[in-house]
Amino acid sequence: MALSFIEGNEAVALGAMAAGCRFFAGYPITPATTIYNAMLTYLPPEGGVCLQGEDEIASIGYCLGASMAGNKVLTATSGPGISLYSEQISFAIGSEIPLVIVNVQRLGPSTGSATKGADGDIQFMRWGSSSGLPVIVLAPVDVADCYRLTAHAFNLAEQYRCPVFLASNKEIAMTRESIDLDAIQLPDITTRKAADRNKPFLPFATGSEDTAPNFLPIGDRTLVRQTSSTHGVNGYITVDPDEINAFQNRLEKKLKAHVDEFTFFDRDLDPQARTLVVAYGVTARAARVAVATSRADGKPASLLTLKTLWPVPERLIIETAAPYDRVVVVEMNMGQYVREIQRLLPGKQIDFFGQMNGNLIKPEQIREVI
Amino acid sequence: MSSLINTSRPPVFCPGCSHERITHTLDKAFEKMGLDGNQVVIVSDIGCSGLFDTFFNTHAFHGLHGRALTYATGLKMARPDLKVIVTMGDGGLGIGGAHVLSTCRRNIDLTLLILNNFNYGMTGGQCSSTTPQAAVVGSGFLNQLEKPVDICQITAAAGAAFVTRTSSYAPDLVDEMVAAISYDGFSVIDMWGMCPGRYTKRNKITPKSIEVDLANLPRFKGPVAENQRKEYGSGYREVAAQLPTPARPDKIEARFQPPATGRQEVLILGSAGQRIVTAGEIFCLAGMTGGWHATLKNDYPITVLRGHSVSEMVLSPQPVDYTGIDRPKVVVALADEGVGRRKKMLARLGSDTLIIKAAGVTLPDTGATVQEVVFKAQKIKSQDWALASLALLAQKNRVISMEMLKAALTVRFKKAILETAVELVERVSE
Ligand code: SF4
């Protein structure tokens, strides 16, 4: 076994390169900057482009332009940058522009603490755009996940033509870990489906009411239109309520109806347990230790680690939680995803432990709650 | 070649709007240049100038207010062969000012057509960044208090390589457009025009008065002599083609039997300049040569040349779950700045923790076993204390062995630096 010693951000860059990323743009911000550094090392020598934007709005704008030219694109920032991305994210959602966004979360609110971790943007990533339409959010637990889930994020962005977030955290992104990169299985690469050039091209036409439109790049032989305005299948403004309705429903359904196909998770279940711990991100690692100690102490417990956070993998959560009386949700914030768990499991006792003080939640703290 | 006007979507501007003229002039420019629709992208901003993409049979990208240049830059970098035209009003100039300046500095081959009519037409005639102070607009008295910008002077000062100021009614506008679009670099045309829907109702302005006003301003027509240089995209690709293929991360083989078992937490507390982070990395690499898994976290202030520097390392026979350090086996204390960051923890430690402390460093009261080392007496400089401390551990076979440490040095350093490092770890003593 030969191990490499890399941080989560470097693993993200390697995952992106493996997935066929051709374009990166970002604005330096701790703790996401090292993704930019790595992409600047990897992309240009291989014919790709890496740009430093004059601000976050520009950085994601460059990505949207390049994505519409057919490139697989990546940007990376932290909470303050996600705020500035917001309107462009709405654009990417509504106009179905594939894009991977790494949010290396840091302690907020606002400027907060650049070098302290938190998972404070979990609801923000889901709801921080106008319209409230869904996005995909994947949450890595460790460096291996940064590598693997980034590759999946690209595939999902291509398949569903939407922004896909990687909800990283300073504690994963800037922690170096030994890792056997060769032992990690990456998914086969997916590329957005090309539209049939022999038929008249309608940029937003789909074969069904829950899929993304087929793609042609701007610059193709066939003329391509992209617009941030409310559009019909032809890419021109529409005011027809039925057409608008069908379009909004499709944007909602194309992700929510398919979440079972991209529900990533880990489960460590104990048939004797009455308590299920639910965690995600770096906190899941402390939860693993806590569950193991609890078992060793004669108090069995189970653990569900969610790696797909949005759309909420409802079936997985409901089925996994079914045999338990009590669910303990642990998060590095004041209580965000627990709202989803409460919504899905109304009959159960749901306890929450959260902390947002810049420190990792310790296994002993979780052990006490169990 | 024929017109690229989309006849099924005729312009919808107010009667007398100079945008309509510009639409047809731009079409003539395309025609003169012999461009096919699929060689051109029109990136339109928001406002009445944002309608442009719909009037042409070209590729079209209509995005957010003020951000048109950002999409255009991404498109052009991805597809250098396309002619990318940005249509933007004086509103977009204001809200997207940072993008205008950056695009000028970069000199990427885009053409920015500024449809300058001195107000926000679409939202009701409010003042923009170019509204004269004497104008009567929809923003009450506010424009009287703000000086309008001269966008030509600004773009030229920011490095735009091609700047033309003209009237939407200029008889040679089509040639100006052809020159701008053909120019290999960032080209800007500031076209003064009339907005009868909003602006000219309360402000007397005619094609003739525009001409008179323009004659009184500094002249801009085409290439800006002092800004001539290579186009950004070609420059980028030239430099990129020379770059070496980057190496992927090193792989460390497990070769040695480590001298300890179970999870090992180690902490180095130092200050900036003491090469704490490098020592942390070497320690982890050493562990990995013993088949251990490793994690490393560094903590230092934003001012990297000053203040504390702390590295936290965990070695473990299993992959490391929790990466925090609560019960370190060893603490290396090399500076008060670092010690100050972990006072509470140090006070909690028991005698099973070894603290290697450089002479002169003050520790809080602690139950840990403290060993003081006078590095200065051995003529070891402060920046080498961290590595020297690792050597002391290795000499005692504490957590890592000397063969593991030396193997790590070989991974991390080459040639002269490696020799000096090996000499140091052999020389240091308690
Ligand atoms: S509001 Fe002004 S700029 Fe807009 S179409 Fe009417 S005249 Fe032209």
Nearest CA to ligand 1 atom 8: B17
How far apart CA B280 and CA B296 sit, in angstroms, is 7
Token digits for A17? Answer: 């390169």
Q: Are residues A183 and A325 in the same domain?
A: no
Q: Which residues, other chains included, contact A172 with Cβ-Cβ below 8 Å and sequence gap of 6+?
A: A8, A117, A140, A141, A142, A143, A145, A146, A281, A282
Three-class secondary structure of residue B400 per DSSP:
coil
Question: Are residues A331 and A194 located together in one domain of the fold?
Answer: no
Sorting pLDDT into bands at 50, 70 and 90, what band is A166? very high
B236 and B269 belong to one structural domain: no
In this predicted structure, what is the pLDDT of residue B277? 96
Which chain A residues are Cβ-neighbours of B53 within 8 angstroms?
225, 227
The predicted-structure confidence for B391-420, as pLDDT tens digits, reads as follows 999 999 999 999 999 999 999 999 999 999
A58–B99 CB contact, under 8 Å = yes
- Domain-embedded: residue B251: no
Shared domain check, A337 and A250: no
Q: Which residues pair with B252 in a beta bridge?
A: A3
Spatial contact of B44 and B64, defined as CB atoms under 8 Å apart: no
Q: Is pLDDT above 90 for B1?
A: no
Check whether residue A194 and residue A291 sit in a common domain. Answer: no
Co-location of A145 and A196 in the same domain: yes
pLDDT in tens, B92-143: 999 999 999 999 999 999 999 999 999 999 999 999 999 999 999 999 999 9
Q: Quote the Cα angle for B44-B48-B54, to 5°.
A: 50
Question: Which atom of ligand 1 is the closest one to the Cα of B48?
Answer: 4
Q: Which of A262, A297, A313 is the last residue of a domain?
A: A262
Q: For residue A286, how many other CB atoms are within 10 A of its CB?
A: 24
Number of domains in chain A: 2
Measured from the Cα of B49, ligand 1's closest atom is: 3
Please tell me whether residues A79 and A53 are part of one structural domain.
Answer: yes
Q: Give the per-residue SS3 of B82-114.
A: CEEEEEEEHHHHHHCHHHHHHHHHHCCCCEEEE
Q: Taking CB atoms and a 6 Å cutoff, what residues make up the pocket around ligand 1?
A: B 13-14, 17, 19, 48, 117, 121-122, 195-198
For residue B31, give how far its alpha carbon lies from the nearest alpha carbon of chain A (Å): 17
pLDDT confidence tier of residue A60, bands split at 50, 70 and 90: very high
Best of B4, B39, B44, B61 to substitute, by most chain A Cβ atoms within 10 angstroms, is: B61
Q: Say how many domains are in chain B.
A: 2
Please, which pLDDT band fits residue B322 given cuts at 50, 70 and 90? very high
Interchain pair A54, B293: CB under 8 A: no
B139 Cα: distance to centroid of ligand 1 (angstroms): 17
Q: Are residues A182 and A244 in the same domain?
A: yes
Query: A305 by DSSP, 3-state: which?
Result: strand
How much is the average pLDDT of A213-235?
97
- Rounded to 5 degrees, what are φ and ψ at B125? 80, 35
pLDDT one-digit tens code per residue, A122-153? 999 999 999 999 999 999 999 999 999 999 99
Q: Is the omega angle on the peptide bond into residue A44 within 30 degrees of 0, that is, cis?
A: no
| Chain A residues near residue B73 by CB distance under 8 angstroms | 51, 58, 61-62, 65
- Between chains, do B252 and A47 touch, taking CB under 8 Å as contact? no
Residues A180 and A147 in one domain: yes
Dist CA A278 CA A287 (whole Å): 8
DSSP state of A72: -
- Tens digit of pLDDT for each residue in B213-234? 999 999 999 999 999 999 999 9
b/e map of A320-337 (b: 16 or more CB within 10 Å)? bbeebebbbbbbbbeebb
Nearest CA in chain A to B81: A219
Of B37, B70, B74, the CB nearest to A57: B70
**Using the beta-carbon criterion (under 8 Å), do A64 and B254 form an inter-chain contact?**
no
Q: State which residues form the domain around B420.
A: 264-427
Same domain as A206, residue A287: no
Residue B246 lies in a domain: no
Q: Which amino acid is at B216?
A: N
- Mean of the per-residue pLDDT values for chain B? 96
One domain for residues A273 and A257 = no
pLDDT over 80 at B304, yes or no: no
Mean pLDDT of chain A: 97
Determine what percent of chain A is predicted with pLDDT higher than 90. 99
Q: Residues of B with CB below 8 A from A60's CB?
A: 70
Identify the DSSP state of B125.
Answer: S
Residues A291, A256, single domain; the answer is no
| Residue B10 is assigned to a structural domain of this protein | no
- Give the DSSP per-residue string, A196-245: PTTS---TT--SSTTSPPPB--TTSSS--EEESS-B-TTSSB---HHHHH
Instruction: Check B239 against A1: CB less than 8 A apart.
Output: no
**Which atom belonging to ligand 1 lies closest to the Cα atom of B121?**
1
CATH code where residue A342 lies: 3.40.50.920
Determine which of B35, B65, B253, B321 to mutate to test the interface with A (most A C-beta atoms within 10 Å): B321
B311 domain residue, yes or no: yes
Cβ distance of B240 and A288 shorter than 8 Å: no
Quickly state the pLDDT bin for B11 (edges 50, 70, 90): confident
What percent of chain B has a predicted confidence (pLDDT) above 70?
100
Please check whether residue B255 lies inside any domain of the structure.
no
Count how many pairs of residues, chain A against chain B, have C-beta atoms within 8 Å.
218
Q: The pTM is what?
A: 0.97
| Among the partner residues A46, A55, A360, nearest to B324 by beta-carbon distance | A360
Query: Could you tell me the residue range of the domain that residue A358 belongs to?
Result: 265-369
Q: What is the pLDDT of residue A1?
A: 73
DSSP state string for A185-203: PPPPP--PPBPPTTS---T
Q: What is the ipTM of this complex?
A: 0.97
3-state SS, residue A278: strand
Which CATH number fits the domain that encloses residue A232? Answer: 3.40.50.970
Whether the per-residue pLDDT at B91 is higher than 80: the answer is yes
| CB–CB contact B73 A51 (8 Å) | yes
Tokens of B134: 């004497």
What is the structure's pLDDT at B345?
93
Same domain as B140, residue B276: no
Please indicate, yes or no, whether residues A297 and A225 belong to a single structural domain of this protein. Answer: no
- State the distance from the centre of ligand 1 to the C-alpha of B82, rounded, in angstroms: 29
**For residue B302, pLDDT beyond 90:** no
Q: Render the burial of A62-74: b for 16+ CB within 10 Å, e for the rest.
A: bbbbbbbbbbbbb
Q: Domain containing B406 — which CATH number? A: 3.40.920.10
Name the domain boundary from A262, A286, A303: A262
Burial of B340 (0-12, 13-18, 19+ CB in 10 A): middle
For B45-68, what is the mean pLDDT? 96
Which residue, of A234, A262, A290, is where some domain finishes?
A: A262
**For A78-122, what is each residue's pLDDT tens digit?**
999 999 999 999 999 999 999 999 999 999 999 999 999 999 999
